[in-house]
Amino acid sequence: MDQPSAGRRGKLSSLRRSLNALRCRISKRGRSKPPDQFLDKFSAASATSDTRLHQAGCVAPQAVPSDGVCSRLSVDPSLPSHYRWLSVVSLAVLYNIIFVIGRAVFWELNKQASVLWWILDYLCDFIYLTDTLVHCHEGYLEQGLLVRDAPKLRKHYFSKQRWWLDVVSMLPTDLAYIWWAPSSCAATRLPCPIIVRINRLLRLPRMWEWFDRTETATGYPNAFRICKVVLAILVLIHWNACLYFAISYALGFSTDNWVYNINGPKNLTLSRQYIYSFYWSTLTLTTIGETPTPENDAEYLFVVADFLAGVLIFATIVGNIGSMISNMNVTRVEFQNRMDGVKQYMAFRKVGGELEARVIRWFAYTWAQSGALDEERVLAALPDKLKAEIAIRVHMDTLRQVRIFQDCEPGLLEALVLKLKLQVFSPGDYICRKGDVGKEMYIVKRGSLSVVADDGITVLATLGAGSVFGEVSVLEIAGNRTGNRRTANVRSIGYSDLFCLAKRDLWETLADYPEARASLTERGCQLLRKDGLLDEAVFANAQQTQDSLESGVARLEQTVENLNLRLARLLAEYSASQAKLKQRISKLEDRVQKPSPTSRGAQAKAAHQQLQHPAGGSAASNAAGRLRTQRRKSHSSTTTTTTAAEESLTTVTASGTTPTVPGAAGSASSGTSTWYYHYYSYILLVSAWG
């Protein structure tokens, strides 16, 4: 009894925990999160971005009800599977282009293997129906993102003008077979009922789409263009042959020499009917042969229309083929022109037959190996990112073979791989000689090199593909006993392809990687120590000098930055003081323009009274004398004050303290921090008073 009750209690407790967990999850979903002031700044932008992505179909909503496969169907046009599907659709379109019109005219073709035609016809109809579904859900780019939302894809599909072509091409015109039986086709009744399927030709744009994608993806675009043009020519000739046979039926077989002669057992066969019609169509459209002369107006009109169409269409086609063939040989023509120019120059300068033969052999080797491919010009149209990706795929393994670059960070290797230049050396060419200044390092891609002695005969070593030399000289390590000069003669045995990395390119790249620069320098020192070519004292002294120089440059940069800050602060103070000074000057000018009623007005009044009482002439003269004395005192005090201001200016210039100008305490504020403010204010006041 206890065990069953314990089991029930355990089940109830587990069920209770599950319900509590579900309740907590629901409450957490309904409860809003606490606000985050930092994230709230981006809430508006993120909401706008999410709305745009949902509208574009790039981000699916979290809760979207599923209402079938069509609601989730989306096709990426860039996938290989979509390209293969286009190939299948193109075959179906090509089948209808050739056999719908052919079976409508040549009744023997329609009667043979009728079951096979039925199977192929309705298989193509099924392909058309499936292609409409695929085309309706093809993704497209909007703001650089692939739209995958099915309703939006369907809306985009019906917004274009091509949807009605897909619909018309699928109309069940085969229902006409109910009252027009396919077996009724004969020599006395043309065209055959299969002509009702001519609407299937409206799916032709899908075939052109496959042509465009194939031309872009193929490695032989010129050959593919020629094949496409040839196919177009054959289809046009085929259609024209069918039209000729139909007109012959309408005018009557064997009624004259122009129409098809159906009399005779051979002329009744399908092969003779089609081959003769195709032959006549070829002669007419290409206008290169003689055809039977027309004998009535309808025949003349048809031949004239054929001639005009042949001239216009085939002139365009032949012109396109000629331009394609020219484009196929343009590289060879440019290379031949360059070689001819070099040959003419050597003949003009009389360089000698042996050297001329070496140059010609070099041209021949270059063309045989790479077709004189100019990598920089070919890759110039690509963005830097794609160009770097291609260079990494081509040269990264080669660059990793260099000892000093092993275990370097990928960013440095990606930057250096764009700096590699391919050079081709002929047999007997010296890549470097002993004593030359090392400005490049070399990586052997193809060929063999020999390290020879000074006599040029003794071979000291042989370098093959993957070998590297000159890597230490490009580092410019102080204390190198060789002085960054070549220590051996390296000569090419046959034709050799070498990758070259210039010293300037290396140091320009290392400027952005200071840690890698120190690491490469240390690896170079290890190689020099291994060979006993490093002077430790010179190297240590150079390192100290370099460190002191770097620290000095750092201090100089800090000092310049501080000076810039102080200069900016002084300029701001100067601008503020200038504004205040202009305001004070304007106030002083207003005061000077208004005369004082206490001083000069009183003196003028006393003088007027003296003039009215001539008896007091001596008193008037005394008053005038006192006035002149006051003016002389004022002038002398002005001179003294000006001299004191100049002395104060000299003292401030020498000591940098703020001056106290006599007589100017009432015209300038004592709280002003600049000495020139007091000086200019006093000068203006004195000049205005005097």
Least-confidence region, from 169-178, 203-212, 468-477: 468-477
Least-confidence region, from 90-99, 275-284, 440-449, 480-489: 480-489
Least-confidence region, from 257-266, 373-382, 529-538, 544-553: 544-553
Is the peptide bond preceding residue 191 cis, with omega within 30 degrees of 0? yes
What pLDDT, on the 0 to 100 scale, is given for residue 7?
54
pLDDT over threshold 60, residue 635: no
Residue 619 neighbours by CB distance under 10 Å: 13
What pLDDT, on the 0 to 100 scale, is given for residue 300?
92
pLDDT cut 70: percent of the chain above it: 73
What pLDDT, on the 0 to 100 scale, is given for residue 531?
74
**Rounded (10°) CA dihedral 194, 197, 198, 202:** -160
Residue matched to tokens 């990586």: 443
**Quick one: CA dihedral 214, 218, 222, 228, positive or negative?**
negative
What pLDDT, on the 0 to 100 scale, is given for residue 491?
93
User: Higher confidence at residue 580 or residue 379?
Assistant: 580
CA 452 from centroid of its chain's CA atoms: 47
Render 540-591 in DSSP notation, one character per residue.
Answer: HHHHHHHHHHHHHHHHHHHHHHHHHHHHHHHHHHHHHHHHHHHHHHHHHHHH
Please state, in angstroms and rounded to a whole number, the distance separating the CA atoms of residues 149 and 145: 12
Helices (H), 371-409: 375-378, 384-399
**Quick one: CA dihedral 137, 143, 146, 148, positive or negative?**
negative
The answer to whether 149 and 57 have CB atoms below 8 angstroms apart is yes
If you ran DSSP here, which 8-state letter would residue 466 be given? T
Which CATH superfamily groups domain 375-534? Jelly Rolls (2.60.120.10)
Please state, in angstroms and rounded to a whole number, the distance separating the CA atoms of residues 183 and 114: 9
What pLDDT, on the 0 to 100 scale, is given for residue 590?
82
Amino acid at 362: W
Find the mean pLDDT for residues 618-625.
Answer: 49
CB burial of 33-50 (b: ≥16 within 10 Å; e: otherwise) equals eeeeeeeeeeeeeeeeee
Least-confidence region, from 203-207, 395-399, 502-506, 518-522: 395-399
Phi, psi of 498 (to 5 degrees): -125, 140
pLDDT over threshold 50, residue 44: no
What pLDDT, on the 0 to 100 scale, is given for residue 301?
93
Find the mean pLDDT for residues 300-315.
Answer: 88
pLDDT over threshold 90, residue 244: yes
Closest to 446 measured CA to CA, from 365, 348, 543: 365
What pLDDT, on the 0 to 100 scale, is given for residue 536?
76
| CATH domain 220-372 topology | Helix Hairpins (1.10.287)
Residue 194 neighbours by CB distance under 10 Å: 23
What pLDDT, on the 0 to 100 scale, is given for residue 665?
40
Q: Please state the domain extents for the chain.
A: 71-217, 220-372, 375-534, 537-567
| Three-state SS at 444 | strand
The answer to whether 659 and 678 have CB atoms below 8 angstroms apart is yes
pLDDT over threshold 60, residue 243: yes
pLDDT over threshold 90, residue 688: no
Distances in Å between the Cα of 531 and the Cα atoms of 118, 140, 170, 474 are: 84, 63, 81, 17
pLDDT over threshold 90, residue 29: no
Highest mean pLDDT among 146-160, 527-541, 631-645: 146-160
555-574: pLDDT as tens digits: 788 889 889 988 998 998 88
pLDDT band, very low/low/confident/very high, at 5 (cuts 50, 70, 90): low
123-165: pLDDT as tens digits: 999 999 999 998 888 888 887 788 888 888 888 888 887 888 8
431-489: pLDDT as tens digits: 998 888 888 889 888 889 999 988 888 888 898 887 888 877 787 777 777 777 888 89
pLDDT over threshold 80, residue 687: no
Please state, in angstroms and rounded to a whole number, the distance separating the CA atoms of residues 608 and 461: 123
Find the mean pLDDT for residues 25-46.
Answer: 45
pLDDT over threshold 90, residue 278: yes
For the chain, how far is it from start to end, CA to CA, in angstroms? 126
Phi, psi of 595 (to 5 degrees): -70, 150
Query: Nearest 5 degrees, angle CA 337-CA 341-CA 342?
Result: 120
The answer to whether 497 and 396 have CB atoms below 8 angstroms apart is no
The answer to whether 306 and 285 have CB atoms below 8 angstroms apart is yes
What would the two tokens of residue 468 be? 């590297």
Average model confidence (pLDDT) across the chain? 76
Find the mean pLDDT for residues 498-511.
Answer: 87
The answer to whether 435 and 406 have CB atoms below 8 angstroms apart is no
Distances in Å between the Cα of 411 and the Cα atoms of 151, 408, 452, 509 are: 44, 8, 37, 10
Q: What is the pTM of this model?
A: 0.59
pLDDT over threshold 60, residue 581: yes
Please state, in angstroms and rounded to a whole number, the distance separating the CA atoms of residues 331 and 222: 13
pLDDT over threshold 80, residue 678: no
Residue matched to tokens 């070259």: 500
What would the two tokens of residue 345 be? 């120059």
If you ran DSSP here, which 8-state letter would residue 460 be given? E
Amino acid at 157: Y
